Amino acid sequence: MSVRMIAVMAVCIAVVTALVQVVLSPTPIGGYIHPGAVAEVFVAIAFGPIVGMVAAGVGAAISDLILGFGSFAPLTLIAHGALGFLAGWLGWKKGWFGPVTGWIVGGLALVAVYLIGEATVYQLGLAYALQEVPWNLVQVSLGIFGLLLFQLVKRAYPQIEGLASGPKFEEE
């Protein structure tokens, strides 16, 4: 892993952490929704599946720790990491259809991880976990703004997709 990739990853973790915390909306059953998916999808599409997975998972988990939801940090790490990985894997450098597919598949993975984890590992029951599904879908739906933001940034700075990869030397 290159120093550049580590630096990009660190900045992306910080951006995800900040965006998760910038606007919190409590849910009626005790959790919260946030616009973190905007940053998570943007990062995954811009820098690929590894940076997307680490930045989304670690950034969202750090936010859980900071906001007092530390017991959910491991589940958040996996759920948001899945979103970042799948969005990056299916969408990085793949035109327009790939990022949309990655966002949808990654978002559904996030919802599934929370549903299964809350119902089984956290033993909150299926009824509770099902009540979280609509809120998680709302949260993931905000990722559309990450797709749009990426398109705007790429138009202004086409080299963005190469920032996380190592330097390339070409012979003149």
Structure tokens at 154: 């790429």
**pLDDT value for 172:** 62
Q: Is residue 34 part of a domain?
A: yes
Give how many domains the chain has, as a whole number: 1
**pLDDT value for 170:** 62
- Give the CATH number of the domain where residue 116 resides: 1.10.1760.20
How many alpha carbons lie under 13 Å from residue 94 in its C-beta half-sphere? 19
What residues in the chain have per-residue pLDDT under 70? 166-172
Burial class (CB in 10 A: 0-12, 13-18, 19+), 171: exposed
Q: Is residue 167 part of a domain?
A: no
Q: Is residue 12 part of a domain?
A: yes
DSSP, res 122: S
Q: Is residue 172 part of a domain?
A: no
Q: Is residue 36 part of a domain?
A: yes
Q: Is residue 78 part of a domain?
A: yes
Quote the domain boundaries for residue 28. Answer: 3-159
Contact 44, 150 (CB under 8 A): no
**pLDDT value for 1:** 80
pLDDT in tens, 93-134: 888 899 999 999 999 999 999 999 999 999 999 999 999 999
Question: In which residue are the tokens 């799948």 written?
Answer: 86
